[in-house]
């Protein structure tokens, strides 16, 4: 089941990208997402693509696997490209397809926007592919730390995030188990009219909700039994550390940013 | 229905970094009307094997025959619905699949899906509830108000109400108290005989395998490790220990009696207490002759 869905699925490894501090990864990706919108020349796009694809390659996550995860997005990218082809009416007329006039600027813009899109998704999915959910929430908690001063419940938010991330695989397994049990009692999830299929979901959803609530209650009880009372004064088993590798990456990223502004038109 | 596995392999998520081979070249057959126990350690492929029996998964390689139905790797089976009506599966913790407003409706869910007539369904609800010893006043209650043991009985009734010819049981007594475990297993054994079912039991309990099964298949790392009658299997203590399985208490007891006292008692399904009495009688009888 769901073998084509890789969002949030961690691929274990020991590559450079895996070893980066998750805070560095989030920060670099955050700024990368911002600067992607500044690129406006072939050279500047090339530079960003080189960075993105280089990062993906050095993560050692199988290429086939990354591409498979992007399948749902390919359609969106293609759609954007085609939309630009037909809507943009600037530059020289390239050809006329049964009344649809395709202009040079349309092709250029379509390609640029699609590339932007591709890079954004590639880099962000690289984060979840090379970082465990726990690392991500730890990093977010640290990065949002300053907001504690304005009484923002940072720890609670991070806890909620890590609990929900933790239970995604559990719920997926549960869904699979229950849907198999109901399938063997004659429920057909795949064929039939739309109404039939909606009806087929009830025997799946009810048990799923029941077990999710039960789990939540048990978890709350277990946490209370072990004396959990929020983030105040809590220490961490795994401390995040910024190392040499992180500084090297910052340096590299600054070079890319400078390069980008030099190659812009 | 006769069931055969012919060189079946199954791979989870092929082609991804999470690829996992759960079954490897499995071949064995189950005769119609027999009671087969499948035992093996956690992760030995028992659950995957069992899902083949209901067409819930398709073999990656090889072929499974279940009576007139065949599951062949790479081929779509168009009779899955009929197959699922004939093969009833009681999954682990089956009470997790309950969802209807009343117990009776939940039991009726399977037969309704297979298009059984309303009048017939009423009969089947009564029969199934009787078989699992569910009292009639529970039928109109919500299944979520019942105790764990009662919920288990409701879920099992739901499978029995489909009137399957093959009954597949995946650790049906896990998490029940000892007397509940015995009751449920005895009930399955009774149904097996009275309805001439073909029963496949996946279990961790060597005692159950010895007591109920007439054929045992041991799985280890997705392969058939040993196969035979319970007595043949449990004679091979070392082979069992190699895959972290125990010999049932009774068999262990008999082996020790033979080793220490040089008395050979045949095993005929006795309990330890019965064997002890038998032994006492023999020892006393021996003294009388002196």
Q: Answer yes or no: do B89 and A181 touch at CB < 8 A.
A: yes
Question: Nearest chain A Cα to B82, which residue?
Answer: A186
**Pairing state of beta strands B20-30 and B35-40?**
unpaired
The rounded distance, in Å, linking the Cα atoms of A106 and A118 is 18
List, run by run, the mean pLDDT of 10-residue segments along chain B (290 residues).
Answer: 91 79 91 93 88 91 90 84 92 90 93 91 93 90 91 94 94 90 92 93 90 92 91 87 86 85 79 83 67
Q: Does B88 touch chain A (CB under 8 A)?
A: yes
Asked if B51 reaches chain A (Cβ–Cβ under 8 Å), the answer is yes
B144 close contact with A: CB closer than 8 A: yes
Coil, helix or strand at residue B92: coil
Distance (Å) from the alpha carbon of B192 to chain A's nearest alpha carbon: 20
Contacts of B99 in chain A (CB under 8 A): 202-203, 206-207, 210
Q: Do B17 and A202 touch (CB under 8 A)?
A: no
Tokens of B87: 């093969």
**CA–CA dist B207, A32 (Å, integer):** 62
CA distance A125 to chain B (A): 16
Stated pTM of the model: 0.74
The CA dihedral of B269, B273, B277, B283, to the nearest 10 degrees, is 90
List the single residue in B with minimal CA-CA distance to A205: B99
Cα distance between residue B112 and residue A182, in whole Å: 12
- pLDDT in single tens digits along all 265 residues of chain A: 344 444 457 788 888 888 889 899 999 999 999 988 888 888 888 888 999 889 888 888 888 778 777 777 888 888 888 888 878 777 777 777 776 777 778 888 888 888 888 888 888 888 888 888 888 888 888 888 888 888 888 888 888 888 887 788 888 889 989 999 999 998 877 777 788 788 888 899 999 999 999 999 999 999 999 988 877 777 777 778 888 888 998 999 999 899 988 888 7
> Would you state the structure tokens that stand for residue B234, as one six-digit string?
């449990």
Nearest to A186 among B13, B15, B81 (CB): B81
CB contact under 8 A, B17 and A177: no
Q: Flag if A64 and B15 touch (Cβ within 8 Å).
A: yes
- What are the Cα distances from residue A106, in Å, to A49, A89, A101, A120, B116? 21, 7, 10, 21, 61
> SS3 for A49?
helix
- Which chain B residues contact residue A64 at CB under 8 A? 15
Separation CA A82–CA A74 (nearest Å): 12
The domains of chain B are located at 248-290
User: Number of C-alpha atoms within 13 angstroms, CB side, residue A161?
Assistant: 17
Q: Is B98 on the interface with A (CB under 8 A)?
A: yes
What's the 3-state SS for B102-166? CHHHHHHHHHHHCCCCHHHHHHHHHHHHHHCCCCHHHCCCCHHHCCHHHHHHHHHHHHHCCCCCE
Q: Which residues contact B235 (CB under 8 A, 6 or more apart)?
A: B251
Measured in angstroms, the CA of A199 and the nearest CA of chain B are apart by 12
Structure ipTM: 0.85
> Which of A11, A186, A207 is nearest residue B113 as measured by Cβ atoms?
A186
Are B275 and B248 within 8 A, CB to CB?
no
Which among B174, B176, B249 is positioned nearest to B207, based on CA atoms?
A: B249
Of B63, B22, B35, nearest to B169 (Cα)? B35
């Amino acid at each position: 089941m769901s073998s084509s869905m890789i969002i949030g699925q961690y691929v274990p490894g020991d590559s450079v990208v895996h070893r980066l501090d998750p805070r560095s990864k989030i920060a670099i990706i955050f700024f990368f997402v911002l600067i992607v919108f500044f690129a406006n020349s072939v050279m500047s796009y090339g530079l960003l693509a080189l960075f993105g694809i280089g990062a993906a390659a050095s993560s050692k996550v199988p290429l086939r696997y990354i591409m498979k995860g992007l399948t749902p997005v390919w359609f969106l990218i293609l759609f954007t490209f085609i939309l630009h082809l037909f809507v943009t009416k600037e530059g020289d007329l390239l050809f006329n397809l049964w009344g649809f006039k395709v202009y040079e600027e349309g092709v250029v813009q379509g390609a640029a926007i699609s590339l932007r899109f591709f890079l954004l998704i590639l880099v962000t999915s690289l984060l979840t592919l090379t970082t465990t959910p726990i690392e991500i929430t730890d990093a977010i908690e640290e990065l949002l730390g300053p907001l504690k001063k304005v009484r923002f419940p940072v720890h609670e938010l991070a806890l909620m995030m890590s609990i929900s991330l933790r239970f995604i695989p559990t719920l997926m397994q549960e869904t699979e188990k229950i849907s198999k049990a109901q399938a063997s009692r004659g429920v057909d999830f795949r064929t039939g009219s739309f109404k039939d299929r909606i009806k087929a979901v009830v025997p799946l959803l009810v048990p799923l909700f029941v077990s999710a609530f039960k789990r939540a209650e048990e978890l709350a009880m277990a946490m209370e039994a072990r004396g959990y009372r929020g983030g105040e004064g809590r220490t961490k088993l795994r401390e995040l550390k910024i190392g040499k590798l992180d500084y090297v990456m910052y340096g590299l990223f600054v070079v890319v940013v400078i390069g980008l502004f030099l190659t812009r038109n | 229905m006769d069931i055969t596995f012919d060189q079946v392999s199954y791979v989870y998520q092929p082609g991804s970094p999470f690829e996992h081979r759960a079954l490897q070249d499995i071949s064995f057959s189950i005769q119609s009307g027999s009671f087969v126990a499948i035992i093996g350690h956690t992760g030995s492929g028992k659950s995957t094997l069992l899902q083949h029996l209901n067409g819930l998964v398709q073999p990656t390689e090889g072929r499974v025959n279940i009576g007139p139905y065949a599951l062949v790797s790479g081929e779509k089976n168009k009779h899955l619905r009929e197959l699922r009506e004939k093969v009833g599966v009681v999954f682990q913790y089956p009470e997790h699949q309950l969802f209807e407003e009343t117990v009776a409706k939940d039991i009726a869910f399977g037969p309704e899906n297979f298009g059984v007539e309303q009048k017939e369904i009423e009969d089947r609800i009564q029969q199934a509830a009787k078989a699992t010893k569910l009292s009639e006043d529970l039928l109109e209650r919500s299944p979520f108000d019942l105790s764990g043991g009662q919920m288990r009985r409701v879920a099992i009734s739901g499978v029995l109400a489909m009137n399957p010819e093959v009954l597949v049981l995946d650790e049906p007594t896990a998490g029940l108290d000892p007397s509940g475990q015995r009751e449920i297993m005895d009930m399955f054994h009774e149904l097996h005989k009275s309805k001439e079912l073909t029963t496949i039991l996946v279990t961790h309990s060597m005692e159950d395998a010895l007591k109920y099964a007439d054929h045992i298949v041991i799985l280890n790392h997705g392969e058939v490790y040993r196969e035979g009658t319970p007595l043949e299997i449990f004679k091979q203590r070392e082979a069992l220990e190699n895959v972290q399985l125990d010999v049932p208490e009774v068999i262990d007891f008999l082996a020790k009696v033979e080793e220490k006292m040089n008395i050979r008692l045949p095993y005929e399904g006795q309990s330890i207490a019965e064997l002890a009495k038998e032994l006492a009688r023999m020892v006393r009888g021996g003294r009388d002759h002196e």
